[in-house]
């Protein structure tokens, strides 16, 4: 009997949660004098979240019949990088947010210094998990690691741009460029991980998925800007209107709320059009994309 989309998403979410817990447990020293860093990292890693990026990697890989076991380390790595970025983003020196996933931000519990160290450690840990996967051949592993490092840099570059334009008037082109880096780079990485895990993928399919990733990455951020205004704290899992309160330019502040909604919906529709040309059954990816377009947080 064919599984529904929700069942499949639950399988992927449970799987990456289990793998993250396994790697953290494996990383924890049994020595009594060990630091608390691993448990501090676990506070944010095991707090939940949508797990959208690893789910995307699992979904793309599954289109090409890649076994889940070969995807696990890539799924964990992309999520660990994402979580490290959230920990650092929440710091007072960055976005200064005190709530994340409906619990106090890590720095509110353990202090700013430990939060910085936890973020640093999670970034390194992502590369450790991926590089240590014995199920992936060395050439593929090098390609995955190169992509992860490049995407992590792009994400940081996007955040740097974001900090530099607070309370400034910017045009839509600059905002697009910033978010293609800050948000789009890791989403694109999640898609391309699924591509790289299949060395025999055609150039046509690879190009289609790269275009898909570009559209979805930007759509996701425009949608986030809209949800920041229209969704309550409890549903968002963080403060509503946090961007506006900090004077950060957003799509609604430049284009208005209605036009921003139209833009992200059009971007998702364009992404759906792109994947119709894949050589494999794209239905699971189509269903996931439609669910993203309808998300409320």
Q: Which tokens in the block code for residue 189?
A: 């990485």
Domains delineated in the chain = 5-290 (1.10.600.10)
State the DSSP H helix or E strand holding residue 99, giving kind and residue range, or none if neither: strand 99-100
State the DSSP H helix or E strand holding residue 116, giving kind and residue range, or none if neither: helix 112-131
* DSSP-derived 3-state class of residue 150: helix
Alpha-carbon gap, residue 168 to 249, rounded angstroms = 7
> How many other C-beta atoms can be found within 10 angstroms of the C-beta atom of residue 261?
17
The CA-based diameter of the chain, rounded to the nearest angstrom, is: 57
Q: Which tokens in the block code for residue 3?
A: 């599984």
CB–CB of 38/27 below 8 Å? yes
Alpha-carbon gap, residue 13 to 263, rounded angstroms = 28
**pLDDT digits (tens), the chain, 297 positions:** 678 888 999 999 999 999 999 999 988 755 545 579 999 999 999 998 899 999 999 999 999 999 999 999 999 999 999 999 999 999 999 999 999 988 999 999 999 999 999 999 999 999 999 999 999 999 999 999 999 999 999 999 999 999 999 888 899 999 999 999 999 999 999 999 999 999 899 999 999 999 999 999 999 999 999 999 888 766 666 566 676 667 788 999 999 999 999 999 999 999 999 999 999 999 999 999 999 999 988
State the residue for tokens 């090409």: 64
């Amino acid at each position: 009997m064919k599984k529904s989309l929700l069942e499949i998403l639950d399988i992927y979410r449970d799987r990456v949660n289990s793998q993250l817990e396994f790697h953290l447990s494996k990383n924890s020293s049994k020595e009594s004098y060990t630091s608390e860093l691993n448990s501090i990292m676990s506070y944010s890693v095991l707090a939940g979240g949508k797990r959208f990026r690893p789910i995307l990697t699992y979904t793309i890989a599954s289109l090409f019949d890649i076994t889940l076991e070969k995807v696990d380390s890539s799924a964990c790595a992309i999520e660990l990088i994402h979580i490290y970025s959230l920990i650092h983003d929440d710091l007072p020196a960055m976005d200064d947010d005190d709530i994340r996933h409906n619990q106090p931000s890590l720095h509110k519990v353990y202090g700013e210094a430990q939060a910085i160290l936890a973020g640093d450690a999670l970034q390194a840990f992502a590369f450790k998990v991926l590089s240590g996967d014995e199920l992936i051949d060395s050439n593929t592993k090098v390609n995955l690691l190169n992509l992860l490092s490049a995407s992590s840099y792009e994400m940081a570059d996007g955040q740097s741009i974001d900090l530099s334009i607070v309370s400034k008037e910017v045009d839509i082109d600059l905002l697009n460029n910033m978010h293609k880096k800050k948000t789009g780079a890791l989403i694109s990485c999640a898609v391309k991980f699924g591509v790289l895990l299949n060395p025999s993928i055609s150039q046509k399919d690879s190009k289609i998925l790269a275009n898909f990733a570009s559209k979805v990455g930007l759509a996701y951020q425009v949608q986030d800007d809209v949800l920041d205004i229209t969704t309550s704290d409890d549903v968002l899992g963080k403060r509503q209107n946090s961007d506006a309160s900090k004077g950060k330019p957003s799509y609604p502040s430049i284009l208005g709320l209605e036009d921003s909604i139209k833009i992200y919906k059009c971007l998702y529709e364009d992404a759906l059009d792109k994947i119709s040309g894949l050589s494999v059954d794209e239905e699971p990816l189509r269903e996931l994309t439609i669910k993203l377009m309808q998300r409320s947080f």
